[in-house]
């Protein structure tokens, strides 16, 4: 890059930004501490309201009938008290200054570390234009994005054969037929479930693959650094592109590109009523799973230390590890070429643990919760006494145990538009309370490359999964 030397040493502006990031956050925390001391009564009231609210909320989701109604009312009252205390007793100007300092610290940290994340497209190599590119399109995905964005016409202008998935047709068979016609690059315009099906076919035949984000969430496109709002722009991967390899993952041989979840969420979404009445379905199901007489899900696995576990409220296995400081951080992977699965398990046994988890979750410190385990592995197995509900890339399945997860390192030849220069969201993410981020900022402030830059520069791909019969 023009604005950096090859050693990755930071520019003066980056060093200044790192200093601002390191100084602004302690300033914000100091102001909060001073405010808490000056308004200790309000602080106590806010803490009590939070404790009551979380405890009541746990009982509201794990009980039925009158107990649920009373707990729900208690949750509402506690939250109302919390809001009233913040608005009436605490200094709003002081709170505003804290928020400004926190935002300034985050923004400065991103400036200081902006080139130390992994630019997805920059990691690839220039790729020649394919002679017979094909795009498979699901017209129903994303509420009809294929038609809304005029993808068929856009494909015609780029010399790409457009194939529309019709009701009753098999997507995997369409991909195989395209290969039989001589396709030398295949893309999929659809959601992540459809992406996984076509990606498996192209990986097996060692054919380049193109992601066109026309689904609802498009997590794969997000983590690849694609602009999910620029659907037509994704077609440039057929014309002016770079190519790189990424991993795929499997569940009992079924390929997935994002993640598979087991436990409470997977059980709830199995209900046929879930899509039309999510909250009602969850309210009817959770008491059976979290109530005082409930037995934890029969999900047996071995933890990272080799210890056996008999249950967990959540098991999340991802194609590449997620960067998680909060549970809702799911979907942010800095890389998908590590040859490792990401594994997360969460076990909450009662209201006290629910309160502890909620507090740590709010602080972005879920890894400190005793019932939270997170590690990476090449293979992971879950055993059970009966069929297990699993959500795979957003699709609800029931799978016979044992459930074996595995990684397929470097399995997919991925084409990305050359203009895809953004980072994956994990590459852009800045977590100021993590020791690694503080260490990186300190290094930049002192004029040294951040650790994440040194590690990224040493990365190499080692493709390991190519079908013997591939052409």
SS (H, E, C) 351-369: HHHHHHHHHHHHCCCHHHC
Q: Which one has a higher pLDDT value, 378 or 110? A: 378
Any domain includes 105: yes
Based on the domain organization, do 187 and 314 belong to the same domain? no
Based on the domain organization, do 201 and 330 belong to the same domain? no
Least confident of 125-129, 154-158, 206-210: 125-129
CA distance 463 to 32: 50
Based on the domain organization, do 91 and 131 belong to the same domain? no
Any domain includes 330: yes
- Do residues 388 and 213 make contact, with C-beta atoms less than 8 angstroms apart? no
Based on the domain organization, do 371 and 277 belong to the same domain? yes
Helices (H), 293-414: 351-362
Any domain includes 469: no
- Do residues 344 and 316 make contact, with C-beta atoms less than 8 angstroms apart? yes
Any domain includes 423: no
Q: Which one has a higher pLDDT value, 25 or 302? A: 302
Based on the domain organization, do 240 and 314 belong to the same domain? no
Q: Which one has a higher pLDDT value, 273 or 368? A: 368
pLDDT digits (tens, 9 = 90+) for 351-369: 777 777 777 776 667 788 8
Query: Which residue is associated with the tokens 């395209």?
Result: 178
Any domain includes 465: no
Give percent above pLDDT 70 in the chain.
Answer: 76
CB 196: neighbour CB atoms within 10 A? Answer: 25
Mean pLDDT of the chain: 79
Question: CATH number, domain at 187?
Answer: 3.40.50.10330
Would the pLDDT of 344 be above 90?
yes
CA distance 46 to 83: 8
Would the pLDDT of 117 be above 60?
no
Based on the domain organization, do 220 and 338 belong to the same domain? no
Would the pLDDT of 96 be above 60?
yes
Give the mean pLDDT of 90-114: 75
Any domain includes 219: yes
CA distance 47 to 42: 9
Based on the domain organization, do 132 and 115 belong to the same domain? no
Based on the domain organization, do 174 and 190 belong to the same domain? yes
pLDDT digits (tens, 9 = 90+) for 72-92: 888 888 888 777 776 665 566
Least confident of 43-52, 172-181, 240-249: 43-52
Would the pLDDT of 285 be above 90?
no
Q: Which one has a higher pLDDT value, 381 or 421? A: 381
Per-residue pLDDT band for 408 (boundaries 50, 70, 90) equals very high
Any domain includes 426: no
CA distances from 436 to 21, 416, 441 (A): 14, 30, 9
Based on the domain organization, do 115 and 220 belong to the same domain? no
Q: Which one has a higher pLDDT value, 324 or 215? A: 215
Would the pLDDT of 471 be above 60?
no
Q: Which one has a higher pLDDT value, 60 or 169? A: 169
Based on the domain organization, do 331 and 448 belong to the same domain? no
Predicted local confidence at residue 46, as pLDDT: 76
Phi, psi torsion values for 233, nearest 5 degrees: -60, -25
Predicted local confidence at residue 53, as pLDDT: 77
Would the pLDDT of 380 be above 60?
yes
Q: Alpha-carbon dihedral of residues 104, 83, 71, 365, nearest 10 degrees?
A: 20
- Do residues 107 and 25 make contact, with C-beta atoms less than 8 angstroms apart? no
Per-residue pLDDT band for 120 (boundaries 50, 70, 90) equals very low
Give the mean pLDDT of 220-231: 87
Query: Which residue is associated with the tokens 């084409």?
Result: 415
Any domain includes 462: no
Question: CATH number, domain at 402?
Answer: 2.60.200.40
Would the pLDDT of 142 be above 90?
no
Exposed/middle/buried for residue 314 (C-beta within 10 Å: 0-12, 13-18, 19+): buried
Domain that holds residue 164: 125-256+411-417
Give the mean pLDDT of 110-126: 62
- Give the highest mean pLDDT range of 150-154, 416-420, 422-426: 150-154
Predicted local confidence at residue 29, as pLDDT: 76
Based on the domain organization, do 66 and 201 belong to the same domain? no
Based on the domain organization, do 270 and 249 belong to the same domain? no
Would the pLDDT of 279 be above 70?
no
Q: Which one has a higher pLDDT value, 369 or 274? A: 369
Phi, psi torsion values for 315, nearest 5 degrees: -125, 125
Number of domains in the chain: 3
Predicted local confidence at residue 362, as pLDDT: 67
CA distance 122 to 39: 51
């Amino acid at each position: 890059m023009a604005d950096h030397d090859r050693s990755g040493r930071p520019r003066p502006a980056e060093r200044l930004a790192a200093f601002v990031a390191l100084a602004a956050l302690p300033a914000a925390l100091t102001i909060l501490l001073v405010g808490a001391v000056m308004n200790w009564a309000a602080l106590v009231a806010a803490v009590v309201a939070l404790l009551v609210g979380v405890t009541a909320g746990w009982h509201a989701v794990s009980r039925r009938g009158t107990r649920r109604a009373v707990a729900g009312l208690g949750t509402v009252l506690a939250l109302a008290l919390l809001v009233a205390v913040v608005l009436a007793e605490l200094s709003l100007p002081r709170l505003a200054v804290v928020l400004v300092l926190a935002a300034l610290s985050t923004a400065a940290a991103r400036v200081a570390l902006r080139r130390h994340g992994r630019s997805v497209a920059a990691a690839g190599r220039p790729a020649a234009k394919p002679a017979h590119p094909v795009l498979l399109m699901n017209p129903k995905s994303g509420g009809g994005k294929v038609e809304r964005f005029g993808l068929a016409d856009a494909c015609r202008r780029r010399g790409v054969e457009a194939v529309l998935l019709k009701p009753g047709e098999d997507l995997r068979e369409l991909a195989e037929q395209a290969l039989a016609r001589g396709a030398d690059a295949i893309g999929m315009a659809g959601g992540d479930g459809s992406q996984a099906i076509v990606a498996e076919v192209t990986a097996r035949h060692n054919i380049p693959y193109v992601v066109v984000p026309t689904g609802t969430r498009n997590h794969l496109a997000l983590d690849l650094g694609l602009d999910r709002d620029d659907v037509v722009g994704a077609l440039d991967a057929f014309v002016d592109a770079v190519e790189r390899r990424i991993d795929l993952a499997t569940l009992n041989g079924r390929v997935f590109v994002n993640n598979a979840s087991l436990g409470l969420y997977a059980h709830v979404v199995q209900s046929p009523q879930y899509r039309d009445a999510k909250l009602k379905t969850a309210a009817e199901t959770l008491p059976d799973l979290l109530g005082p007489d409930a037995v934890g899900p029969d999900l047996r696995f071995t933890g990272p230390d080799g210890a056996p576990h008999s249950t967990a409220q959540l098991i999340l296995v991802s194609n590449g590890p997620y960067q998680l400081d909060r549970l809702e951080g799911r979907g942010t992977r800095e890389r998908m070429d590590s040859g490792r699965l990401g594994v997360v398990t969460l076990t909450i046994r009662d209201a006290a643990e629910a309160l502890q988890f909620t507090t740590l979750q709010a602080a972005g410190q879920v890894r400190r919760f005793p019932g939270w385990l997170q590690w990476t592995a090449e293979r992971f197995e879950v055993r059970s006494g009966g069929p297990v509900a699993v959500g795979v890339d957003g699709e609800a399945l029931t799978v016979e145990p044992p459930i074996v997860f595995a990684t397929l390192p470097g399995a997919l030849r991925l084409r990305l538009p050359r203009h895809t220069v953004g980072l994956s969201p994990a590459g852009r993410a800045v977590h100021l309370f993590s020791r690694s981020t503080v260490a990186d900022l300190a290094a930049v402030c002192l004029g040294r490359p951040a650790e994440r830059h040194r590690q990224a520069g040493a990365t190499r791909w080692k493709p390991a999964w190519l079908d013997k019969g591939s052409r």
